[in-house]
Amino acid sequence: MRLLSAVVCFLLLLPAYAFSARLVVTVPPGISQVELLSAGTLAVLDHLKERFHSQLKNVNDHYQINKRSGELKEASLQMTQSDKAYNEKVDALRKQYIAKVPITMHSAQAQITTESALGEINFIYSAHNNSDKIISDISYKPLIGNIPLPITSMLVLEFINPKNLIFGLAPGESLTNQNSDPEHLSFFLSELKDKDIKRMQDSMPNGFSIEVIDIHFVSQKGYKGQSKVMDVKEAFADMLKAYQGASQLARDAYKAKSDALANARNLYERDTQGTISDFHSRSNDLKKASVRYQAPVDPKKNRTTIESIKPGKYYVYAAIPGAKAVFEEVTIEDGKNKLKIETLKKDPFEP
C-alpha cells in the first residue's frame, strides 16, 4: 500500500507533458544563450513596429524633415554649380593671360651627373606681354626632355628689369636676362630614375622648357613691394563680381538650409525620445512573454541543445551587444532537429 502511494505521488510530480523533440543549434561566436520564441511573436512585433514608425512619421512630418532634406540637397547642388561656374571663369582668365605672356628660352646649361646629388640649371629667357595688364610674375614647373624636374613647389619667375630693378611687365613690353645673371635652379637627382637622367642628358642643351602654371599682376610698375601682387581673382574682381556673388548667395542659402535642417532634427530627436523608450519597453515585455524554451550555449563549440520541445513552429532568437541577433523561424518535429546559423542580423526587438 505504501509502495502504491509512492508511485502515485511520483506520477503526480511528473510534468503534464513530456516531448521527445529536441533542437541542436549552432550559432555565431559571442552568443551565450539561445531562446525559442512562440510562433506569434513576429506578428505582434510587426504591429508594435507599425505603430512605432507611424508615431515617428507624425513627428517627422511635423518638423518637415524630408522636405528640409530635399531643400538642402537642392541647395548643395546649386552651390556646387555656382562654385564650378566661378572657378571655371577664374581658370579661363588664368589660361587666357598665361597665353598672352609667351616665354622664349634662348639657352640653358645643365649640370646633371650621377656623381652629384644635385642637378643644376642656368637659363636665359625673354618674356613679352601681349595682354592689357601689368604682369608681376609667373609660377612655373621646369622640364627637361618633357620630364618634370623633382621640385617640391612651384618656382616663381619675377619680372624685374635687371637695369633699373623696376618690378612689373607692362602691356607691350619685353624683358630678358640676356645681359645679366641667368636664372638658376637646382633639384635632387636621387628622386629621378637612371633612365630619366640619361634622357635628360641626351635632351640638353635644347631640351629645357617651362610649363607656366599661374600668373600674377600689379596695378602699377615700381620697386618690388610698392604695389600689391594680385592673383587672378583679385586682379579681375570686377569681372568676376557676378560669378562670385552668385557663388556667395548659393553658399549662404546652403548654410541657411543646413541650419534649418539641423534645428529640425534636434527637435525631432527631442520629441521622439519618449516614443523610442516606449517601443523598447513594449518590445522587451513581448520578448520576455514569448520565451518558450531556452538553453545556454557552449562557448567552445558555439552550440546548444534544447530538450523536450513541443513540436511546432518557433523563432530561434539570440542577441549580442550592438543590436545584432539571430532570429529565424524554425519548425520543430519529433526527434532530433538540427539548425546551423552563420550570420547575425539586426535585432528585430530594436527600433
Q: What is the CATH number of the domain that holds 161?
A: 2.60.40
- Give the cell for residue 71: 531643400
Last residue within a domain, chosen from 211, 235, 259: 235
Q: Indicate whether 41 and 80 sit together in one domain.
A: no
Query: Which residues constitute the domain of residue 197?
Result: 100-235
Same domain, 111 and 123: yes
pLDDT tens sequence across 5-14: 443 343 334 4
Are residue 33 and residue 107 in the same domain, yes or no?
no
Is residue 140 located within the same domain as residue 215? Answer: yes
Shared domain for 85 and 178, answered yes or no, is no
**31 within a domain of the structure (yes/no):** yes
Of 220 and 19, the structure prediction assigns the larger pLDDT to 220
For 198-214, write each residue's pLDDT tens digit: 888 888 888 999 999 99
Task: Please tell me the predicted confidence (pLDDT) of residue 154.
Answer: 87
- The pLDDT > 90 percentage for the chain reads 83
Please tell me whether residues 116 and 220 are part of one structural domain: yes
Residue at 1 is within a domain? no
Same domain membership, residue 89 and residue 135: no
Window from 77-86, 142-151, 261-270 with minimum mean pLDDT: 142-151
Q: Is residue 3 part of a domain?
A: no
Does a structural domain hold residue 7? Answer: no
Per-residue pLDDT band for 112 (boundaries 50, 70, 90) equals: confident
Same domain, yes or no: 222 and 330: no
The predicted model gives 57-71 an average pLDDT of 95
Interatomic CA distance for residues 321 and 347, integer angstroms = 10
Average pLDDT, the chain: 92
Bridge pairing between strands 208-218 and 147-148 = unpaired
Residue 147 has pLDDT above 50, yes or no: yes
- The neighbouring-strand residues paired with 343 are none
Q: Do both 27 and 70 map to the same domain?
A: no
Report the alpha-carbon distance of residue 37 to residue 39 in Å, rounded.
Answer: 7
Say whether pTM exceeds 0.85.
Answer: no
Q: Is residue 301 situated within a structural domain? A: yes
In this structure, the answer to whether residues 107 and 224 fall within a common structural domain is yes
Name the domain count of the chain: 3
CATH number at residue 314: 2.60.40.10
Tell me whether the omega of the peptide bond preceding residue 162 falls within 30 degrees of 0, making it cis. Answer: no
229 and 202 housed in the same domain? yes
Contact criterion met (CB below 8 Å) for 318 and 325: yes
